[in-house]
Chains A and B, each alone.
Chain A
């Protein structure tokens, strides 16, 4: 097969701009071969190179005494004491999931699990944050069903419990759904594995599934906007095999225990190309690959296809040659394909050979060091118009409107399709606030939460960015956890538009301020841009996943309110209705500013909760739907009614930040109020948990009736 000629059309089809192609010519001093063009395209697309976002990502706080490894490796590593570490990251699989929901979502889960066990950690928890279009849009139901089944199909077989996540709906996602997958693993802090190769002449070993033509060009596809021709992109979506992934994980962890692994990198986006370049670049070495040795499952694959394939469940590693026999025994035990496909070389070259012919010969370090980086123009977002009057409503009608929306209804229909309890260390399953997993065999637990409110980010990216972090922080605090660190998944539209770039830059500013103030540095993350279809961008959606530590079971808050518990509201209520859930769901208005986030108040109120866990029987953070929704959710979880004295719309449904609703025994309410006042934390009694109805002022409905609505909404729309 002869390679196609390098034409301007071919260059454009590879997502390379004319000036980027000129840069290639300047680096290599000649016209690239077809394979080389593919390699540059794979390394320099937005998905792999972060060329539009790098400048801003560098501004994020990433360090702290708890951080063992920040961004730049496969996942972040954070100290949890006793020589143990939690390893985690979140990554998007948006574009593939829209094209082929089951496999797109499944391989998103597979990719993030691989990132975690590549570092030497056994995955112990997963979450996923999903954004879909209008529930009434003809494509939404199929996407919801396909994505949820795909996530379950992969994670359930692999055997990792899902502990949380988000599911939201908004017409802005009609043409681009978002699938953000998070995984966390547990490792010994002194046994973390990295990607940097070392030593010249070391064997480069390929392990895992065979290489096929699936996913060729996937990363480039994920770096472009969609239009009506998107269905033609289906062949660029990979196909997942969770059973192979499970074996790959076990084999990788066993192999690491033999001491044979020098460096390791999973094959994710842009497969063999990215993984080999990463290992060489980080180690200051060159790499030679002999592609005829790559295990393939299709005939006559070209060098171009092999280098760009995104076949799943594959690893590349550099092994100690003297331990080859031990390594082979592990691969044989798990019946996995492996092959020595090349070696490290002293020269700074990336040499690709196929049957003795040179298919590519490029300066390796320049593939990443010389990658384009853009300081794209951006416009600060104009301040939103002030919110016009919001009329008072019957608060029970307001609550019912929220419970009838799939955005705020119970998500059991989703979570029941995921194995939430495998590994038998799940303490708190998904549904309300953070999920909790025990650190196996210890007294410690880890808490996980995934949050963002895209309406806020669109109205005010700085405050919206801060709010996403603050909400994740509060969800951890509400179960008694000490927030440790954060991973971010930044989903935005086309960065070449200054308004979109402005959302991105300002959201990062907000996120940066918040993670600094709340001491939860960003240790890993992912950027997904070009989430646009026919020029319509998604809501800016910077998903924040935070991880917290609970040292002992006594520190944990994991109960529901009981009859006669007092309902105490912590934090200041001003009744901020701008961009609120109530405004959107009842009045169909997305107006006003996002609620301002006072980070000092967040810290103070969070510290107060954690200092008083022994008096707090149940706790939840206040976010979407304000006091009314939080009170209902707590009451529902406890199977007990709740009576609040107020019936004021803004008090009940305002979304002021830094607030928690807590339930405590009657005889401890006073002590809590004194402790709050000493800590300078606003606190007030707002009612009590009792009876079998939800009552706001004089408006009332039976808890049973509301509970039935809460649980029926999602199933009625999507089942």
Chain B
């Protein structure tokens, strides 16, 4: 599997994402935001966490206009796989690949801690290693993770089984406890929690590891 990790100047989880993907077996390239193309043959794109362009105003808004993001959108529109974590989720909503927005946390403070994450659907390459209803322990680390979409959009997400994860104890005010959502073709996932921070034994928990394993297995088998 050829994976690309997008690097904005303020990305700071890019290495962490690459480590988790490589541990699962992927061949990973780091792709700079000024590039206009993904490396040829890219199967899978990860948009990592961080503060893409400082994010002093709307998180991910400037990143979504970067040259590489056009290539990421094209990749997704061709049916390619994309994972956006934390800032990456914010960027994916700003590009329009995923609906809704991520607002400031309801408590107005940055929160970094392990949270309970409920797997809502196992129907995606990202979640097929889990059973619907599983509760995972995965860290969050964000200031703007309060997911919002209007009632119709939320209903559509739920009706189409596109809510991938919910919080067991909503830490940030997200509508319907939503922590991660899938695109219509189920090949794009955006989520606020950091599975790459729960992916090896040193992390004190490996609940995120299955995600990287099934991504790799599915893409390689395809």
Chain A contact residues, CB within 8 Å of chain B: 149, 152-153, 156-159, 241-244, 246-247, 250, 333-335, 412, 415-427, 438, 553
Contacts and interface: CB of A to CB of B under 8 A. Distances in A.
Contacts of B6: none
Given A149-B109, A420-B141, A423-B12, 6 more contacts: A243-B9, A246-B12, A247-B10, A417-B110, A418-B112, A419-B112
A421 B109 contact: no
B53 A423 contact: no
Contact of A424 (B9, B10, B32, B199): B199
Contact of B9 (A149, A250, A419, A426): A250
Interface in B194-219: 194, 196-197, 199, 202-204
**Closest 6 pairs (CB-CB, A-B):** A159-B12, A243-B54, A424-B16, A157-B51, A419-B141, A421-B197
Contacts of B56: 243
Contacts of B202: 425, 427, 438, 553
A157 B10 contact: yes
Contacts of A334: 9
B139 A421 contact: yes
A45 B68 CA distance: 49
A346 B110 CA distance: 52
Contacts of A244: 54
Contacts of A553: 202
B63 to A, nearest CB: 12
B197 A424 contact: yes
A421 B113 CA distance: 9
30 contacts: A153-B110, A156-B51, A156-B110, A156-B141, A156-B143, A157-B12, A157-B54, A159-B50, A242-B54, A243-B54, A246-B12, A247-B9, A247-B10, A333-B32, A415-B112, A417-B109, A417-B112, A418-B110, A418-B112, A419-B110, A422-B16, A424-B15, A424-B16, A424-B20, A424-B199, A424-B203, A425-B202, A426-B203, A427-B202, A553-B202
B19 A424 contact: yes
Q: Which of A153, A246, A334, A335 gathers most chain B CB within 10 Å?
A: A246
B141 A421 contact: yes
A698 to B, nearest CB: 37
Given A242-B51, A250-B9, A423 B15 contact: yes
Contacts of A421: 112, 139, 141, 194, 197, 203
B104 to A, nearest CB: 13
Contacts of A418: 110, 112
Nearest to B113: A416
A296 to B, nearest CB: 21
B13 interface: yes
Interface in B101-115: 109-113
B13 to A, nearest CB: 6
B13 A422 contact: yes
A416 B111 contact: yes
Interface string B121-136: 0000000000000000
A333 B9 CA distance: 9
Interface in B1-45: 9-10, 12-13, 15-16, 19-20, 32, 34
Nearest to A437: B202
Nearest to A428: B204
A333 B203 CA distance: 33
Interface string B172-200: 00000000000000000000001011010
A425 B197 CA distance: 8
Nearest to B108: A149
Given A416-B112, A421-B139, A424-B19, A158 B12 contact: yes
A502 to B, nearest CB: 42
Contacts of B109: 149, 416-417
Contacts of B34: 333
A421 B138 CA distance: 11
A152 B51 CA distance: 13
A696 B58 CA distance: 54
A426 B16 CA distance: 11
A333 B32 CA distance: 10
A161 B141 CA distance: 11
A423 B203 CA distance: 11
A244 B56 CA distance: 12
Contacts of A427: 202-204
Contacts of A333: 32, 34
B141 A243 contact: no
B204 to A, nearest CB: 7
Contact of B10 (A149, A243, A417, A423): A243
A159 B19 CA distance: 16
Contacts of A420: 112, 141
Q: Which of A159, A242, A420, A425 gathers most chain B CB within 10 Å?
A: A159
A661 B53 CA distance: 47
Contacts of B197: 421, 424
Contacts of B50: 159
